Amino acid sequence: MNVYTQFESPIGQITVNANDEGLLGVWYESHKMELSEFGTRADDHPILKLTVTQLKEYFRGDRRDFSIPLAAKGTEFQNKVWKALTTIPYGKTWCYKDLAIAVGNPKASQAVGGANGKNPISIIVPCHRVIGKNGSLTGYAGGVDIKEKLLALESNK
């Protein structure tokens, strides 16, 4: 059974959803999702409580790494890209080519960009740390303004 909860963060309201296997998604208000898509509200679900606690620690600057079981549903390639995203160190950025190299296909920048854009677990699977080769803040599902705030938080600005 899928469950969700919501909380206020420095970047607006965040919705997290999970099942008993792990975290399924971290969503911003800008994602325009219907709450019914997330299942039943369950503020006391252990994975949701753990996720909210760790995200609040992240926003306070007290957490750089997450220890939450993940259960996002994606293709084999998407899962490979999402796993590679979790290796980008806090406070660092990669370009899409760096990500393509990390998944073992240096010529797949466009494909990894597509998989990166479909990452449902924002912040914890840090797709916001992927930027354009020229340093530009390329698109972000939550909005470039949120991406900019997350990167600023991680660089202590």
**pLDDT for position 39:** 93
What does the block give as tokens for 68? 């939450």
pLDDT in tens, 75-128: 999 999 999 999 999 999 999 999 999 999 999 999 999 999 999 999 999 999
- pLDDT of 157 strictly over 60: no
* Interatomic CA distance for residues 150 and 10, integer angstroms: 10
Confidence class for position 6, pLDDT limits 50, 70, 90: very high
**pLDDT for position 114:** 93
pLDDT in tens, 45-78: 999 999 999 999 999 999 999 999 999 999 999 9
Q: For strand 40-41 and strand 3-9, is the pairing parallel, antiparallel, or unpaired?
A: parallel
pTM: 0.93
- pLDDT of 36 strictly over 90: no
Other CB atoms within a 10 A radius of the CB of residue 138 amount to 17
**pLDDT for position 88:** 97
Crossing angle of the two packed helices 109-117 and 76-85, in degrees rounded to 10: 80
Which has the minimum average pLDDT: 10-19, 25-34, 48-57, 146-155?
A: 25-34
Question: Catalytic residue positions?
Answer: 127
Q: Where are the alpha helices (DSSP H) in the chain?
A: 46-60, 76-85, 96-102, 109-117, 144-154
The CATH code that applies to domain 74-154 is 1.10.10.10
Three-state SS string across 132-147, please? CCCCCCCCCCCCHHHH
* Interatomic CA distance for residues 105 and 51, integer angstroms: 32
Domain parsing of the chain, residue ranges? 1-58, 74-154
pLDDT in tens, 125-139: 999 999 988 888 887
* Burial letters 101-120, b for 16+ CB under 10 A, else e: bbbeeeebbebbbebbeebb
Q: Say whether 108 sits in a helix, a strand or coil.
A: coil
